[in-house]
Amino acid sequence: MVKAGRVPEHVAIIMDGNGRWARQRGLPRLAGHRAGVEAVKRTVEAAGKAGIRYLTLFAFSTENWKRPAREVKGLMKLLVHYAANELETLRSNNIRVRVIGDIYSLPEEVQEAVKKCERATKDNTGLTVILALNYGGKWDIVHACKKLCEKVARAEIRPEDVDEELLSKELATVGIPDPDLVIRTSGEKRISNFLLWQCAYSELWYTDVLWPDFGSKEMAQALMEFGRRHRRYGGLEKTRGRTYS
Ligand code: IPE
Ligand code: IPE
Ligand code: MG
């Protein structure tokens, strides 16, 4: 068990390896994505049980449009199904859904389905599940800069007022603490344009397990490892015996 007080408040996951999972079984890539949805359901449940407050899931990146149109279409369809089929479970489990990313460039039915989920769960007080859809860390930062420039142009702020706090407030993740732990499955060890600004001090944990095989066991391993990490934020180790927050 992970010691109380050491559970990360925010876990962010780069769900990778659906395609390889399918290829290993001689199945089309979309079968891997379908199995990936089952892993999402297991992981949401495991995160709630572990006492995690925020769970961000990287579901579609700003670069994933490069994939064949058929796969992109299939992924969008899965998103709509997930949002519609899981809404009741999410609602009854007191889960709040939030979406980050350039969602206005997504097909309308995806926008509607995820917005419905957000609206229907906005007053829930349990785990917050953040779906990163058409999300890119670079997009997020550029979008935030544009918002700041608009405020400068309207003379609401001066250029010299711009600091880390003001920029953070324009990011898609406003109000959400930075991820304490970032998990990536499938053995890849890169950020792939995920939460670039927000991951400045996140602990990173990688596993060779492919996303469709991810579940409570892997989540427990990641949390256990997180509990052993010493976060220094550029400072020095605290006196022995003291706990880290
Ligand atoms: C992750 O699995 C899902 C998305 C990026 C949408 P992949 O589809 O990237 O799986 P691999 O990397 O090809 O195995
Ligand atoms: C990252 O996975 C994006 C998501 C999980 C949504 P990719 O499979 O797209 O990343 P790369 O291309 O291997 O870096
Ligand atoms: Mg991949």
The CATH number assigned to the domain holding 81 equals 3.40.1180.10
* Local structure of residue 176 (DSSP, 8 states): S
Assigned domain for 204 exists: yes
In the chain, how many domains are there?
1
- Which of 230, 242, 243 has the alpha carbon at shortest distance from 201? 230
Q: Give CA–CA dist 236/234, Å, rounded.
A: 7
Q: Assess whether 16 carries a catalytic annotation.
A: yes
Ligand number, closest to the Cα atom of 183: 2
Is there an atom of ligand 1 within 6 Å of 67 CB? no
Q: What region, left, alpha or beta, does residue 26 occupy, with left being phi > 0 and alpha being psi -120 to 50 degrees?
A: left
How confident is the prediction along the chain (245 residues), in pLDDT tens digits per residue? 444 558 999 999 999 999 999 999 999 999 999 999 999 999 999 999 999 999 999 999 999 999 999 999 999 999 999 999 999 999 999 999 999 999 999 999 999 999 999 999 999 999 999 999 999 999 999 999 999 999 999 999 999 999 999 999 999 999 999 999 999 999 999 999 999 999 999 999 999 999 999 999 999 999 999 999 999 999 997 655 555 45
What is the DSSP secondary-structure string of 33-88?
HHHHHHHHHHHHHHHHHHT-SEEEEEEEETTGGGS-HHHHHHHHHHHHHHHHHHHH
For residue 184, being part of any structural domain is answered with yes
**Ligand 2 pocket test: which of 82, 130, 192 has the largest number of ligand atoms within 8 Å of its C-beta?**
192
In a domain, 142, yes or no: no
- 100 - beta bridge partners? 132
For tokens 């579940």, name the residue. 215
Can you give 132-167 as a three-state secondary structure string? Answer: EEEECHHHHHHHHHHHHHHHHHCCCCCHHHCCHHHH
Neighbours of 31 (CB within 10 A): 18
Atom of ligand 2 nearest to the CA of 190: 14
**Cα 204 from Cα 191, distance rounded (Å):** 10
Ligand 2 proximity of 188 Cβ (cutoff 6 Å): yes
Does residue 126 form part of some domain? yes
Residue 68 lies inside a defined structural domain of this protein: yes
* 109 within a domain of the structure (yes/no): yes
User: Which of the following is catalytic: 18, 64, 124, 140?
Assistant: 64
The whole-angstrom separation of Cα 194 and Cα 181 is 13
Instruction: Name the residue range of residue 87's domain.
Output: 10-136+178-230
Q: Which two tokens stand for residue 50?
A: 């572990």
Q: Establish if 170 belongs to a structural domain.
A: no
Q: d(Cα 177, Cα 188) in Å, to the nearest integer?
A: 25
**Closest to 151 measured CA to CA, from 176, 138, 169, 137:** 169
Residue 244 belongs to some domain of the structure: no
